[in-house]
Amino acid sequence: MHYVCVSWTHKNTDIALREKLSLLEFSQKKLLQSLLLEKNILECMLLSTCNRVELFLYSIDPSLACKQVVKSMSKLCEINEANLSQRADFFEDSSAIHHLFSVASSLDSLVVGETQIAGQLKESFSFAIENNFCAKNLSRALHFAFKCGAKIRTQTEISKNPVSVASVAITKAKDLANLEGKDVLVLGAGQMSELLCKHLLGTKADITVLSRNYEKSKNLALALGVKNEDISKLKELVNSCEFIFCATSSKDPVITDELLEEVEFKRYFFDIAVPRDVDIKENDKVKVFVVDDLKDVVKKNLALRESEAHNAYAIIGKMTVEFFRYLDDLELNPIIKDLRLIAKDCAQKELKKAIKKGYLKNSDKEEARKLIHQVFKAFLHTPTMKLKHLEGKVQSDTVANAMRYIFALDEKAQGLDEYKCEYAVENKNEI
């Protein structure tokens, strides 16, 4: 069995292709369901963000799994199969785990050190678990990935003064003009919009938040001390604000040419949504920036974090080796064997004591041994059956580690809460 990753990111695709690949919840289910119909693919999970669309799989034949993913994505997204295959990066086993750990640690992000990816990965994992798309094997990998990310955040300064796509967009805007006193519109009321507003507060801009979900945008505006307007004011605000930042989850463009009117000042649109929110023609008074246009600012960020990234990759390498060593130690059959050996050893010791103290005659030794063996065999029957029943299930790692600890098969209580994944998934309905 093999771990596999098929990846389309900002490194190998442009925003136009990632936009076509981005999948809403219903399509995600459809894709993952279709993949699990393939006998070759045993578990799967999809990570879809503004900068990446990646499939993590557990499969029998990794080469075939990659072809099946490309074929399914091509059919669902209506993209040429050969083009998808040519653009994709394929990872297998140790390289797949190393890549997953790099993603979880934000080393593979457009903005190295950004903190959003961990939450996005946990959301994707929760979605896959809740819909039975992944089980024991991907769960093991994901929880190790979260542990790796946490270790890198605490042992390096990769996330010191954390940045994000939102902060990079604001930095780009500040390079264009002094935002103090400028009318700025933030379209959307989700996590990205909140980050945009928080970074904008330091510029002393005149901020207005607008979303189709009025209550959500109202609460965001109240929390941050900025203005809030109803969706009916969209056209008015688009034509009165110099800077417009868009970060909604709409599958269709929110700002189109029909909304725009001629104005005397220059307007800058920052579209950090995928699929894109802005579909307008540029001219000398209208400039649109998308995620891929922020790479010059990102390069500066990467240079500043290069030494810390080197330290982080060293941790990822060690954690990858540790993960596969961990898998080797998790088989249930050795636990069953060890339990029986412990029982046998215990029986022999107690039998020897009983004969020495005169509780049993030496001539009765063989019969007593057979009786004790039958007693332990009967006693261990239920635990043995329970352990065998757990093979292939998500809970098996937790139970296996508990058994190792309780019966002193391992001195450490490793992984007793291995599947505890505390992450509050927020409702992200936006405009």
Residue 192, domain CATH: 3.40.50.720
392 assigned ligand-binding residue = no
52 assigned ligand-binding residue = yes
136 pLDDT more than 50:
yes
Q: How high is the pLDDT of residue 394? A: 62
CB burial class (10 A; 0-12, 13-18, 19+) of residue 382? exposed
Look at 27-36, 127-136, 163-172 and tell me which has the smallest mean pLDDT: 163-172
Judge whether 66 counts as a catalytic residue: no
Tell me: do 169 and 207 sit in the same domain: yes
* Residue 395 belongs to a domain: yes
* Residue 418 belongs to a domain: no
Q: How high is the pLDDT of residue 162? A: 59
Tokens representing residue 62 in the block: 């990794």
For the chain, how many structural domains are there in total? 3
119 assigned ligand-binding residue = no
Tell me: do 151 and 181 sit in the same domain: no
Q: How high is the pLDDT of residue 412? A: 46
For residue 412, the one-letter residue type is K
What is the residue range of 281's domain?
Answer: 165-297
Angle between helix 116-130 and helix 25-36 axes, rounded to 10 deg: 60
Distance CA 121, CA 312 (A): 18
* This prediction's pTM: 0.68
| Cβ–Cβ under 8 Å, residues 276 and 248 | no
| Cβ–Cβ under 8 Å, residues 58 and 1 | yes
* Residue 106 belongs to a domain: yes
How high is the mean pLDDT of the chain?
85
Tell me: do 174 and 139 sit in the same domain: no
Tell me: do 21 and 157 sit in the same domain: yes
Q: Which of 296, 298, 247 is nearest to 276 (CA)?
A: 247
Q: Which of 114, 132, 161 is the last residue of a domain?
A: 161
Tell me: do 332 and 269 sit in the same domain: no
* Residue 307 belongs to a domain: no
Torsion of CA 287, 292, 293, 299, to 10 degrees: 160
Q: Which of 50, 66, 134, 148 is catalytic?
A: 50
pLDDT in tens, 24-39: 667 899 999 999 999 9
188 assigned ligand-binding residue = yes
| % of the chain beyond a pLDDT of 70 | 89
pLDDT band at 425 (very low <50, low <70, confident <90, very high): very low
* Residue 74 belongs to a domain: yes
Q: Which of 274, 277, 239 is nearest to 259 (CA)?
A: 239
Tell me: do 257 and 379 sit in the same domain: no
The CATH number covering residue 15 comes to: 3.30.460.30
Q: Which of 146, 161, 176 is the last residue of a domain?
A: 161
Tell me: do 269 and 238 sit in the same domain: yes
